Amino acid sequence: MRHGRRDVNHAEIKQALEDCGCSVWDTADVGGGFPDLVVGRQGRTFLLEIKTAKGKEKPAQRAAREVWRGSWQVVRTVDEALHVVGIK
């Protein structure tokens, strides 16, 4: 199995979401432009791509995000991730 590279902030963001009661599936190994996390909160599902402060999406990631019809956000910090799922 090919393992995706995780950004240095990946574990921190994942843990913060879990600590706030979100369901979190780590999907960084899926590949093909699929986002890093699938997050569930209050009956909603969010797709999150984690990047560092200067990280850029790969072409496959950008292309996949552009055709997705649901919530798919690029996040760089814990605060951004929490905001996306509706936690202030």
pTM of the entire predicted model = 0.91
Contact between 14 and 26 (Cβ < 8 Å) = yes
- pLDDT 10s digits, 49-71: 999 999 999 999 999 999 998 88
77 Cβ neighbours under 8 A, 6+ residues apart: 9, 13
| Residue 1 confidence class, pLDDT cut points 50, 70, 90 | very low
Structural domains for the chain: 10-84 (3.40.1350.10)
Contact between 77 and 11 (Cβ < 8 Å) = no
- pLDDT 10s digits, 69-85: 888 999 999 999 999 99
86 torsion bin: left (phi>0), alpha (psi -120 to 50), beta (else) = left
